[in-house]
């Protein structure tokens, strides 16, 4: 079970990251193609990506049982897609160290080194555990 304080702090850090270094907003068709390309590179089954009415403050949700990502609206950001993919690709589906490390890794590979370094720095500054950051792949 995830620690509620850790979950809240992880979301808070990610919000600061999104405000400081926004990632590209994609149309659903672009997002589907981008997600498929990432999954091929990561050797993951491609999750179904769909727009869905979610609670107002929920940008997206990953559902491991049906291997899908539901997006609230029709224009997800790269960060949102990678956040949900990190949930699907981690054994621990919560917001712990494994998740944060995977998210930073995805941001590094598929957005930019600068974005990943900033997110990693925010996690460590908030005393949230994350594997050491590497500037190389």
pLDDT digits (tens, 9 = 90+) for 108-130: 999 999 999 999 999 999 999 99
State how many domains the chain has.
1
Maximum CA extent, the chain: 38
- The predicted model scores a pTM of 0.94
pLDDT confidence band for 2 (50 / 70 / 90): low
Asked whether residue 134 is assigned to any structural domain, the reply reads no
For 63-89, what is the mean pLDDT? 95
Above 70 in pLDDT, residue 137? Answer: no
Asked whether residue 64 is assigned to any structural domain, the reply reads yes
pLDDT confidence band for 136 (50 / 70 / 90): low
Locate the DSSP E strands across 3-135.
48-51, 60-63, 68-71
Kindly report the average pLDDT of the chain as a whole number. 93
Asked whether residue 132 is assigned to any structural domain, the reply reads no
Boundaries of domain holding 50: 4-125
- Work out the number of other CB atoms within 10 angstroms of the CB of residue 117: 16
Judge whether 104 and 119 are in contact, CB under 8 Å.
yes
Asked whether residue 133 is assigned to any structural domain, the reply reads no
Scored b (16 or more CB within 10 A) or e, 11-49 reads eebbeebbeebebeebeeeebbebbeebbeebeeeebeb
Asked whether residue 136 is assigned to any structural domain, the reply reads no
For 36-58, what is the mean pLDDT? 95
Q: Which residues contact 55 (CB under 8 A, 6 or more apart)?
A: 72
Asked whether residue 58 is assigned to any structural domain, the reply reads yes
The CATH number assigned to the domain holding 106 equals: 3.30.2010.10
> For 99-109, what is each residue's pLDDT tens digit?
999 999 999 99
pLDDT at 31: 97
Locate the DSSP E strands across the chain.
48-51, 60-63, 68-71
Q: Report residue 50 as tokens.
A: 């769909």
pLDDT at 84: 97
Asked whether residue 18 is assigned to any structural domain, the reply reads yes
Asked whether residue 131 is assigned to any structural domain, the reply reads no
């Amino acid at each position: 079970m995830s620690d509620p304080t850790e979950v809240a702090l992880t979301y808070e850090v990610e919000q600061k990251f999104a405000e400081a270094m926004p990632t590209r907003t994609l149309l659903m068709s672009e997002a589907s193609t981008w997600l498929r390309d990432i999954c091929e590179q990561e050797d993951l089954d491609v999750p179904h990506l769909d727009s869905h009415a979610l609670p107002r403050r929920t940008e997206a949700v990953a559902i491991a049982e049906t291997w899908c990502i539901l997006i609230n609206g029709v224009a997800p950001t790269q960060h949102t897609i990678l956040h949900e993919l990190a949930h699907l690709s981690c054994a621990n589906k919560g917001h712990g160290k494994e998740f944060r490390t995977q998210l930073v890794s995805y941001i590094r590979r598929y957005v930019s080194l600068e974005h990943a370094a900033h997110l990693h720095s925010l996690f460590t500054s908030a005393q949230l555990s994350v594997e050491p950051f590497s500037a190389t792949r």
